């Protein structure tokens, strides 16, 4: 009986190796300058298997899109010979592309992931900086930058933020079954209390299926222009009379200067059309955007332009249009920023643009219910902490 059982095991092992042999699972990381073939070769996968597996993968995934630090999961059997049994990589936050050996050849297919939306609540006090203290409270970096853009409609981050200011935020994470985050989801609620403002905003889907942010009264927080086009910068020169830093005489400074390290991203203050993208006299590398309602904005002394930025291109509010530099007549890395209204250069700090959109009566009713749900959810989550 024992000999018969042994023979059965041998036969099954030869016919169905994937069933009885445990494949070793590994997570590989694509190195800088590397590719998938070399990555698999380093794991001693036979060359013919690499050719067949990558060919199968290419049916659902462009191999040119593989990037440095991308994670590749593989399953490999080492007995009776080395065999790549499975390969998996992410094609989207909710989808993997899977390559499997079926006993004869390799086949590939997309596999939708089972994701859960998990609410994430955080609150804290500003001690060092808006970014650092939010990060310390557990807020994801991408969400902090999104909050910076949203709050920038009402908050001058160079003047208004002080030690002791408080914040609250509620957003959603899309979680995989293994507990890892597939994607950071939308912001449902955020609050920022300073000596100058008490801002509460809520994410809401309108009847036209657009997700945007509104204050507690249902008025859009989005305005024609942002107050601050650069994150984590300081105002090094204000609008008005000053001593010219290059020539030493008194002159009228018709903009704001934001000092920040070289290549700090510069954001479009508002949606509009690129009127100029090139060298412009004392401003060096410069961009001028034409907005609605008679507004224009100017961005000077840039080190480089954002991807695709050229004359005639439409840009969205908050889009990266360039990077801090010191070109033109400049004494150090900074952004010279101007606001022009009806061809007159005005003080950017004094601009009070109206909300872009308010909710309809029917939308306001839905918004009120959603706001109540979000407020209750935030309080319940903080009670559990």
Listed range (125-134, 243-252, 269-278, 355-364) with the worst mean pLDDT: 243-252
Same domain, 254 and 321: yes
Alpha-helix residue ranges (DSSP H) falling in the chain: 2-15, 17-20, 36-41, 47-57, 130-136, 141-151, 361-384
User: What is the reported pTM?
Assistant: 0.64
Number of domains in the chain: 3
Same domain, 84 and 185: no
Mean pLDDT along residues 311-337: 92
On whether residue 345 sits in a domain, the answer given is: yes
**In terms of Cα–Cα distance, which of 216, 325, 315 is closest to 262?**
325
Listed range (35-44, 53-62, 320-329, 355-364) with the worst mean pLDDT: 355-364
Same domain, 203 and 246: no
CATH number reported for the structural domain that contains residue 245 in this entry: 2.70.70.10
Three-class DSSP labels, 89-147: EEEECCEEEEEEECCCCEEEEEEECCCEEEEEEEEEECCCCHHHHHHHCCCCHHHHHHH
Q: Name the pLDDT band for 238 (thresholds 50, 70, 90).
A: confident
On whether residue 229 sits in a domain, the answer given is: no
> Which of 60, 78, 112 is at the close of a domain?
112
Q: What is the pLDDT of residue 250?
A: 66
Q: What is the pLDDT of residues 267-287, one digit of tens each?
A: 999 889 999 999 999 999 999
The neighbour count for residue 342, using CB atoms within 10 Å, is 9
On whether residue 278 sits in a domain, the answer given is: yes
Dump the DSSP string for 285-320. EEEEEE-STTEEEEEEEESEEPTT--TT-EE-TT-E
Query: Are 351 and 225 spatial neighbours (Cβ–Cβ below 8 Å)?
Result: yes
Same domain, 218 and 299: no
**In terms of Cα–Cα distance, which of 332, 264, 276, 268 is closest to 304?**
264
Same domain, 108 and 60: yes
Q: What does the alpha-carbon distance between residue 37 and residue 31 come to, in Å, rounded to a whole number?
A: 12
CA atoms within 13 A on the CB side of 190: 23
Listed range (51-55, 104-108, 112-116, 227-231) with the worst mean pLDDT: 227-231
On whether residue 159 sits in a domain, the answer given is: yes
Does the structure show a pLDDT above 60 at 363? Answer: yes
Q: What is the pLDDT of residue 224?
A: 79
Q: What is the pLDDT of residue 369?
A: 95
Same domain, 9 and 37: yes
Same domain, 240 and 217: no
Q: What is the pLDDT of residue 227?
A: 81
On whether residue 131 sits in a domain, the answer given is: yes
> Which of 112, 146, 164 is at the close of a domain?
112
Q: What does the alpha-carbon distance between residue 300 and residue 35 come to, in Å, rounded to a whole number?
A: 40
In this structure, the chain runs to a length of 385
Q: How far are the Cα atoms of 310, 326, 327 from residue 280, in angstroms, in the given order? A: 14, 13, 10
> Which of 92, 112, 132 is at the close of a domain?
112
Give the H/E segment covering residue 273. Answer: strand 272-279
Same domain, 163 and 257: no
**In terms of Cα–Cα distance, which of 305, 228, 317, 227 is closest to 272?**
317
On whether residue 355 sits in a domain, the answer given is: no
On whether residue 356 sits in a domain, the answer given is: no
Range of the domain at 334: 234-350
Number of H helices, E strands in the chain: 7, 23
Same domain, 291 and 210: no
Q: What is the pLDDT of residues 41-94, one digit of tens each?
A: 999 999 999 999 999 999 999 988 888 889 999 999 988 889 999 999 988 888
Instruction: Say whether 363 sits in a helix, a strand or coil.
Output: helix
On whether residue 228 sits in a domain, the answer given is: no
Q: What does the alpha-carbon distance between residue 244 and residue 100 come to, in Å, rounded to a whole number?
A: 68
Same domain, 162 and 194: yes
Same domain, 104 and 9: yes
Q: What is the pLDDT of residue 376?
A: 93
Same domain, 8 and 106: yes
**In terms of Cα–Cα distance, which of 88, 91, 81 is closest to 106?**
88
CATH number reported for the structural domain that contains residue 97 in this entry: 3.10.450.350
């Amino acid at each position: 009986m024992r000999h018969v059982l042994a023979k059965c095991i041998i036969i099954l092992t030869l016919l169905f190796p994937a069933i009885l042999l445990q494949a070793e699972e590994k997570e590989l990381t694509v190195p800088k300058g590397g590719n998938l073939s070399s990555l698999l070769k380093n794991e001693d996968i036979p060359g013919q298997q690499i050719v067949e597996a990558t060919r199968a993968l290419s049916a659902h995934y462009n191999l040119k899109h593989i990037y440095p630090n991308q994670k590749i999961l593989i399953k490999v059997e080492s007995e009776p010979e080395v065999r790549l049994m499975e390969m998996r990589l992410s094609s989207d936050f909710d989808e993997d592309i899977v390559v499997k050996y079926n006993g004869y050849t390799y086949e590939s297919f997309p596999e939708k992931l089972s994701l859960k939306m998990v609410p994430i609540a955080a609150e804290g006090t500003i001690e060092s900086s808006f970014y650092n203290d939010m990060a310390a409270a557990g807020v994801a970096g991408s969400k902090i930058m999104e909050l910076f853009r949203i709050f920038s409609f009402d908050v001058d981050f160079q003047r208004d933020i002080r030690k002791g200011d408080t914040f609250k935020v509620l957003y959603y994470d899309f979680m995989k079954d293994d507990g890892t985050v597939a994607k950071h989801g939308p912001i449902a609620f955020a609050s920022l209390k300073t000596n100058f403002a008490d801002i509460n905003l809520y994410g809401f889907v309108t009847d036209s299926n657009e997700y945007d942010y509104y204050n507690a009264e249902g008025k859009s927080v989005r305005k024609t222009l942002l107050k601050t086009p650069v994150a984590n910068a300081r105002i090094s020169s204000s609008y008005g009379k000053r001593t010219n830093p290059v020539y030493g005489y008194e002159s009228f400074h018709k903009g704001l200067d934001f000092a920040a390290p070289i290549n700090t991203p510069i954001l479009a203050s508002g949606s509009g059309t690129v009127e100029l993208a090139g060298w412009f006299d004392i401003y060096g590398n410069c961009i001028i955007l034409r907005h609605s309602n008679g507004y224009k904005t100017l961005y000077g002394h840039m080190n480089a332009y954002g991807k695709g930025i050229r004359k005639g291109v439409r840009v969205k509010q908050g889009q990266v249009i360039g990077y801090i530099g010191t070109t033109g007549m400049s004494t150090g890395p900074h952004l010279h920023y101007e606001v022009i209204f009806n061809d007159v250069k005005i003080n950017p700090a004094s601009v009070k643009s109206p909300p872009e959109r308010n909710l309809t009566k029917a939308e306001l009713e839905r918004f009120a219910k959603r706001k109540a749900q979000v407020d209750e959810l935030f309080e319940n989550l903080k009670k559990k902490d």
